[in-house]
Structure 1
Amino acid sequence: MVSVPQYTLAQPVPIRTDMEARKAGNGHKIAEDRTPGGPAAFDRIGPRVKAMLQVARYHGVELDPNEFRATAEGSFPTASDLSQWAQNAGMWSRALRIRWSHLLRFEHAGPIVLLFNDGGAGLLVGASAEHNLVFLKSVDASDDADALPIDELRLAQVWSGEAVLLRAARSHVAADAPFTFGWLIDLVRLESRPLRDIGIASFTLSILTVLPPLIVMTVVNKVLQFSSVSTLVLLSAVIAVVFVYETLLGHARRLIVNVVGTRLDTKLNLHVFGRLLRLPLDYFERHPAGETMYHLAQVYRIREFLTGKLLSTFLDLITLCVLIPVIFYINPILAWMVLACAVVIMATIFAFLAPLRRHYQRVVDAETLKAAALGETVVGIKTVKALGLEPQRKAMWDERVADAGKARLAFGQLANWPQTLVTPIERVMVLGTMLIGAYLAMNDRSGYMVGSLFAFMMIAQRVAQPLVGLARLVEDYEEVSAAIGEAASVLNRPLESSSNSAGLRPRLVGEIKFSDLTFSYIGTKTPALDRVSFDVPAGTMFGIVGRSGSGKSTIARLLQGINRDYSGFLKLDGVDLKEINLRHLRQGLGVVLQDNFLFRGSIRDNIIAGRPGLTLSDAMRAAQLAGAAEFIERMPNGYDTYIEEGSPNLSGGQKQRLAIARALIHDPTILILDEATSALDPESEAVVSANLMRIASGRTMIIVSHRLASLTECDQILVIDQGKVLDVASHPVLLERCAVYRQLWFQQNRHLDGRHGRLAAVPSRPD
């Protein structure tokens, strides 16, 4: 017997939040290593999370510990929590309980996470059924360390069967695959098992559907003609049994259909929202919110088609496979009449498909413009009210509604023709067959044609409806195809780089280097940045100033990875920013914009947004640093004060200070203030400026501003004009040697007469 290695019995290290885990070197700086996967960070996390990280790396995926969210606070991570974490990162994962006999089957499988009773974890890396042993490795062991053989008795002392299986996702429906009808069919195919059950139930129901007409035929031909009471009793018993089975099977089928529909709906919605979040910011800046929401709303029409019309037609086809042979058996002449009418109906619908498609596209274009106008008005309602633009917006809305109404009217008039032409054919299919069947019955000397006619009419009703529905499915598909195109116009846009596993995750220090960088926005010929080069040492305050349109905010956008299609080099701690994992990069940044959006919820929820593991004390610490604690504590509910959409109960300065607190909550390595104080009142700006040195301590701070007074304490200030670097130096040096900076300073400080006159005497130097 070999003993269980020591790590299986060790007490786990509790997972601590970012704020709790960092050490106070400067009053608020709490960590030297914030990066997921960094050495210090790896040592701080518990063994169960470590085990998941190692197995994920084995499969080529980097999990982010910052994204792990336990459902029960203060306890060890559960198997379901760990599995959900891996699934959110795009992996296949299952939390389950397995027996020793099952472990022995994982002889050549990849590593498996075993969760021990004391909160620890180990990695199962192999098994030997011949020797009745499994091989475990410690989560702290090196990659080349040997696994230890463990027998069933020893393992049972520390392990009760909990395990987590995970591997790279190998789903038939790829998350990055184009959104097409083929993708949707693959989505439906994943439900093959319940669809098989539905098919079996439908086939059985179809057989049961045939029995009542045949029984009616027997009653007419046998019971009525020969007055056979015993036959009638027998048929009554058969009918009762059929009704019971049909009721139970119908109930079961509807339940399964409901489950399948819900699962498809859930998968579709999750996919759409996931793709939406991964679209680059550039897309949202170029497309109105109303237009995007209208296009994505078409997903609901697609969902209804998949779970409604398509599924019901699939079931009808099963019914047809059973009923069509039966009607040919009963009466071939009438059966051919039914099929001929169905073919004519289908041909009529096909003839109108092309013109209907063109007219429907006009409806889509008109509705898109209408939705864009509505969304723009809702988003900009403050401006509409402030400038009294209600008449102009109403006139534009009336025009959009009129255009959409005309398009829908034209489409409806054209779509009415197929229905008009098909209606008499449908009547012929039902009533015509009845009349001809009656004629055939009158000329039938055997007397059996009457019962056959009754049976045929009962079954024909069941056959005609699916045949017409199958023809109309093609017409519905055209509309759904247009809806897929609308949704695809949003979802099939180029996505941002994969934030799950792609890219490097270096330890962020804060050193920034621009080298001969040139960048142009799409559709413009003039570069927004032209051969820009400058360095920002780690831990310094760096200001960026220039006239409007000079490229200040473009630099901030590039640092956030919003735009990556530049030439030249942008390096962060010596690593090209294009190579860094996008999510990892943005988790190391704190960004405060001129106009910040606060979500509906409490002040505390807004401050700790994206960091669910943090507590009220963390929010209070960040608010204190941002100068927001004072006004928060004066509110009736303090940090639990509810913020409505648009933040009507907060002033502009209060919103800005909350945004700064939100940016500081995770103690970012680099803090970017992009015109963050330009909209503040003097009192709020004074509060923020007073805390600026405390905020900047120990981190790299990039301050983009047109107010030079807020940049005087910066270590260096970059002066940029028309996308080109004019100078980089401290405030006193720039006043002496940079004419553009000196001009901007004089314009903003004319009220300082004495100082203005003194500075005016400084001779100008050519730049």
Structure 2
Amino acid sequence: MRIEPPHSAWRALAVVARHHRRDLDAEGILHAVTGDRTAGTPEAMAAAAAGVGFEAEIRAVAAADLGAWAAGFPCLAFLANGQAVVLLRCRADGRVTIIDPLATTGAPLVIEGASFADHYGGTLLLLRPGAATDEAEAGFGLSWFLPAILRERALLTQVAMAALLLHLLGLAVPVYFQLIIDKVLVHAVSSTLAVLTIGVVGALLFEAFFTFIRRQLLIHATTRIDLRLSLKLFGHLVGLPLTFFDRLPTGILVKHLAQAEKIREFLTGRLFATLIDVTVLVVLLPLLFLYSFWLTLVVLGFAAAIGLVLFLVMPVFRARLSRLYAADGRRQALLVETIGGMATAKALALEPRLARDWSDLSAETAALRRGVASLSASVGVGTGLIEKLMQVAIIAIGALLVFDGGMSVGALVAFQMLAGRVLGPLSQLTGLISEFQETLLSVRMLGEVMNAPPERRAGQSGARPPMRGHIEFDAVTFRYPGVLRPALDRVSLSLPAGAVVGIVGRSGSGKTTLTRLIQGFHAAEEGVLRIDGVDVRAIDLAHLRQNIGTVLQENFLFRGTVRDNIAMTRPEAPVEDVIAAAELAGAADFIQRLPQGLDTVLEEGGSNLSGGQRQRIAIARALLRAPPILLFDEATSALDPESEASVRANMRRMAEGRSVLIVSHRLSTLADADLIVVIDDGRIVDVARHAVLLERCDIYRQLWQGQSA
């Protein structure tokens, strides 16, 4: 990927990253960016820095004040023309030291302060490395959500202030009733009634206004939090190794990921609101004690009874909820699997069997859900009864106090209303414990994803050497997780750059595993795999895969146009390059016959194309980036004889200047290969040309004769 001068900020960011001992370059940072790759704005660079493990802060600083920010150097200084430089130092004599990222030497430059001020745009991007121990090492928990929430602390503080004001305004109605009963009705003072009524109406209007403001602020804050969390979650997800997705069913994975929103809702919704309400007790409880000491004890006693009920049912609730989530995950996994394999299900007439499986899982889920709902309903009825008994107790005991002259009727009514405001937060606080258990279960489920180690840590990179395609296996052994038998057993193999190499063997012999190691999907358990003399484990994974064009037996096409899918790895590619890649892949003819040609919109997975057409688009996609290494893993298996002949005829053109590895069961497609590797049971049996293997390799000869027959 070439970085043009307008993107000097990307190079400047790489310079600062290397200063902090982060092995990153501009291309590696660009690859990690999820947003706009063309902009070099402070906002775009701050987002990019966060994506590679830095904490970034944008500051508007005048040229005369730069020296006051020396603690944040080196940093990015944005110029008036949109470029960026690295600001290293502000000297006592007024001169500044910078690095121009577009300069060929990259050496520091000392320039006059006045000259720099003439070009300086007034904005700095301050960078500091993130915590040395990342979340994966610390373990996933509720604290994972806190940074995104704390970034909205200004908004959340405003929400809290609005909530506290609402609670104070809420005192207006109880006091209004007390004054009406004790003063207005007793003395029949209509003027006082009018004043009090106008006052309470005003208070209610203010309460409605601040309720609206509070909800709008909370919606704004939670929307921003959700956006940050979703980007962070998705970034971790796509950074996980392929083995993670191989072992976890898609439906269960989706169920786990959905827990993020539940956890966020708990933290910024129920927990936040309850904590605010509980703080109001600091005002309300003393106020209740001022009304009546004994009635306040009654309220606290009933609140304790509600807490005891919730505490007793909590273990049962947690166990039932855990079983429900597990069953619902299995049901969702079946749904995703059925939708993905619908063509196979219909071809094999499996609809009745799948319907039975769905019915069984749905019945299990419904029964468990009924158990959870029944328990929740029972608790709700029980706590509701306790609240009503509390109201009866307040009225009964309060009436006795009124008889004895201990309080007025108006005070009793006001106390009754205020008691509800006190019992609410206390009930919420005890109920919060039950909801906290549910949230912990969600944390555990999401933790299965978030605690999985990524392929490469944020801020870590690797070597980005130029590649020619010389591949060397040196005594490589590899086992899949949980399998004792090695998929590759001490494989030693040298494949020269620029060669067309075929890889053959029986099913399960290790052919695809060989290509997966080359792509960095797995790491060798023993031995070393080198590309052009460099250990694959030392090469930046993105750089490695950008230099390998891969075509599989089943290739996924994304929703979008044909051109979008071919240019997926080079979105900026001109249409001439896209057409050339399509012609080389033998796809140009059928693309021209499509309703809108390259602009024809493909359905998800390319379902409106035939298997052979999808395969040729995948080949064109691999060729467009002009990688030095091409991997064809049964890439021609879905092609008809005519299309396969077209691909074979173009194979030498495809192979010009690059190494090509072809895994195929069709030995006829490999007859012209420079080398053919025969693999069996994870071991290399022989390596030679087609004619030589027919003479000396029994396995190859048997495979050839079987297909010839």
Q: Distance in 1 between matches of 2:148 and 2:57?
A: 20
Determine if the alignment matches structure 1 residue 451 to structure 2 residue 415: no
Determine if the alignment matches structure 1 residue 285 to structure 2 residue 246: yes
Q: State the Cα distance separating 1:525 from its structure 2 match.
A: 1.8
Aligned residue pairs, count: 706
Q: State the Cα distance separating 1:607 from its structure 2 match.
A: 1.0
Determine if the alignment matches structure 1 residue 67 to structure 2 residue 67: no
Contact 1:590 1:664 in 2 (8 A): yes
Q: Distance in 1 between matches of 2:589 and 2:58?
A: 46
Q: Distance in 1 between matches of 2:5 and 2:280?
A: 62
Deviates more, 1:230-239 or 1:130-139: 230-239
Structure 2 counterparts to residues 670-689 of structure 1, below 5 A: 670-689=629-648
- The match for 2:516 among 557, 560, 576 is 557
Q: Distance in 1 between matches of 2:15 and 2:46?
A: 14
Per the alignment, residue 122 of structure 1 pairs with 85
Q: State the Cα distance separating 1:126 from its structure 2 match.
A: 0.8
Q: Distance in 2 between matches of 1:188 and 1:48?
A: 29
Residue 157 of structure 1: SS of its match in structure 2? helix
Q: State the Cα distance separating 1:604 from its structure 2 match.
A: 0.8
Deviates more, 1:675-684 or 1:197-206: 197-206
Deviation track 1:145-180 (CA, whole Å, cap 9, x = no partner) reads 45313223x234333335444343359984775332
Q: Distance in 2 between matches of 1:542 and 1:587?
A: 20
User: Which amino acid is 1:51 matched to?
Assistant: A
Deviation track 1:164-211 (CA, whole Å, cap 9, x = no partner) reads 443433599847753323433555344333333333332233233224
Deviates more, 1:460-469 or 1:201-210: 201-210
Q: Distance in 1 between matches of 2:6 and 2:46?
A: 17
Determine if the alignment matches structure 1 residue 589 to structure 2 residue 553: no
Determine if the alignment matches structure 1 residue 643 to structure 2 residue 606: no
Per the alignment, residue 151 of structure 1 pairs with 113
Q: Distance in 2 between matches of 1:255 and 1:646?
A: 40
Q: State the Cα distance separating 1:645 from its structure 2 match.
A: 1.7
Deviates more, 1:368-377 or 1:113-122: 113-122
Per the alignment, residue 101 of structure 1 pairs with 64
Q: State the Cα distance separating 1:45 from its structure 2 match.
A: 8.3
Q: Distance in 2 between matches of 1:144 and 1:289?
A: 47
Per the alignment, residue 669 of structure 1 pairs with 628
Q: Distance in 2 between matches of 1:359 and 1:324?
A: 36
Q: State the Cα distance separating 1:695 from its structure 2 match.
A: 0.9
Contact 2:61 2:123 in 1 (8 A): yes
Per the alignment, residue 537 of structure 2 pairs with 578
Distance 1:108-1:184 versus aligned 2 partners, 3 A rule: closer
Per the alignment, residue 204 of structure 1 pairs with 165
Contact 2:477 2:524 in 1 (8 A): no
Deviation track 1:301-320 (CA, whole Å, cap 9, x = no partner) reads 32332332222212211222
Structure 2 counterparts to residues 249-264 of structure 1, below 5 A: 249-264=210-225
Q: Distance in 2 between matches of 1:95 and 1:683?
A: 59
Q: Distance in 1 between matches of 2:100 and 2:538?
A: 32
Q: State the Cα distance separating 1:567 from its structure 2 match.
A: 1.0
Q: State the Cα distance separating 1:602 from its structure 2 match.
A: 0.5
Per the alignment, residue 86 of structure 1 pairs with 49
User: Which amino acid is 1:473 matched to?
Assistant: L
Structure showing the higher helix proportion among its residues: 2
Q: Distance in 1 between matches of 2:408 and 2:533?
A: 91
Residue 563 of structure 1: SS of its match in structure 2? coil
Determine if the alignment matches structure 1 residue 348 to structure 2 residue 314: no
Q: State the Cα distance separating 1:739 from its structure 2 match.
A: 1.7
Deviation track 1:462-506 (CA, whole Å, cap 9, x = no partner) reads 112222222222222222222222222233223222365333222
Structure 2 counterparts to residues 19-38 of structure 1, below 5 A: none
Per the alignment, residue 333 of structure 2 pairs with 372
Per the alignment, residue 453 of structure 2 pairs with 494
Q: Distance in 2 between matches of 1:421 and 1:162?
A: 61
Contact 2:6 2:40 in 1 (8 A): no
Contact 1:105 1:127 in 2 (8 A): no
Contact 2:72 2:127 in 1 (8 A): no
User: Which amino acid is 1:496 matched to?
Assistant: E
Determine if the alignment matches structure 1 residue 429 to structure 2 residue 390: yes
- The match for 2:93 among 117, 131, 137 is 131
Distance 1:55-1:621 versus aligned 2 partners, 3 A rule: farther
Contact 2:553 2:635 in 1 (8 A): yes
User: Which amino acid is 2:513 matched to?
Assistant: T
Q: Distance in 2 between matches of 1:146 and 1:712?
A: 58
Contact 2:136 2:452 in 1 (8 A): no
Distance 1:196-1:300 versus aligned 2 partners, 3 A rule: closer
Q: Distance in 2 between matches of 1:71 and 1:488?
A: 26
Q: Distance in 1 between matches of 2:313 and 2:261?
A: 25
Deviates more, 1:164-173 or 1:520-529: 164-173
User: Which amino acid is 1:345 matched to?
Assistant: I
User: Which amino acid is 1:271 matched to?
Assistant: K
Deviation track 1:666-686 (CA, whole Å, cap 9, x = no partner) reads 221211111111221111111
Structure 2 counterparts to residues 14-53 of structure 1, below 5 A: 18=1, 47-53=8-14
Contact 2:145 2:264 in 1 (8 A): no
Structure 2 counterparts to residues 178-327 of structure 1, below 5 A: 178-185=139-146, 187-227=148-188, 232=193, 235-236=196-197, 238-239=199-200, 242-327=203-288
Structure 2 counterparts to residues 331-346 of structure 1, below 5 A: 331-346=292-307
Residue 586 of structure 1: SS of its match in structure 2? helix
Q: Distance in 1 between matches of 2:451 and 2:648?
A: 44
Determine if the alignment matches structure 1 residue 603 to structure 2 residue 566: no
Q: Distance in 1 between matches of 2:81 and 2:358?
A: 65
Contact 1:70 1:81 in 2 (8 A): no
Distance 1:363-1:121 versus aligned 2 partners, 3 A rule: closer
Deviation track 1:2-31 (CA, whole Å, cap 9, x = no partner) reads xxxxxxxxxxxxxxxx5xxxxxxxxxxxxx
Contact 1:187 1:264 in 2 (8 A): yes
Per the alignment, residue 739 of structure 1 pairs with 698
Q: Distance in 2 between matches of 1:375 and 1:361?
A: 21
Gapped regions of structure 1 (runs ≥ 5) = 1-17, 19-40, 751-767
Distance 1:196-1:680 versus aligned 2 partners, 3 A rule: same
Deviates more, 1:704-713 or 1:501-510: 501-510
Q: Distance in 1 between matches of 2:6 and 2:670?
A: 39
Contact 1:76 1:119 in 2 (8 A): no
Per the alignment, residue 495 of structure 2 pairs with 536
Determine if the alignment matches structure 1 residue 110 to structure 2 residue 77: no
Contact 1:302 1:483 in 2 (8 A): yes
Per the alignment, residue 21 of structure 1 pairs with none
Per the alignment, residue 706 of structure 1 pairs with 665
Deviates more, 1:733-742 or 1:199-208: 199-208
Gapped regions of structure 2 (runs ≥ 5) = none
Q: State the Cα distance separating 1:575 from its structure 2 match.
A: 1.7
User: Which amino acid is 1:149 matched to?
Assistant: I
Q: Distance in 1 between matches of 2:652 and 2:262?
A: 54
Residue 273 of structure 1: SS of its match in structure 2? helix
TM-score (norm 1): 0.86
Distance 1:209-1:76 versus aligned 2 partners, 3 A rule: closer
Deviation track 1:39-60 (CA, whole Å, cap 9, x = no partner) reads xx68988544332322222233
User: Which amino acid is 2:93 matched to?
Assistant: H
Per the alignment, residue 390 of structure 1 pairs with 351
Deviation track 1:209-234 (CA, whole Å, cap 9, x = no partner) reads 22442343234334444455665565
Contact 1:113 1:121 in 2 (8 A): yes
Deviation track 1:69-90 (CA, whole Å, cap 9, x = no partner) reads 89999x8744444444333334
Residue 394 of structure 1: SS of its match in structure 2? helix
Distance 1:591-1:190 versus aligned 2 partners, 3 A rule: same
Report the RMSD for the aligned CA atoms in angstroms: 2.8
User: Which amino acid is 1:151 matched to?
Assistant: G
Q: Provide the identity percentage.
A: 39
Q: Distance in 2 between matches of 1:748 and 1:676?
A: 18
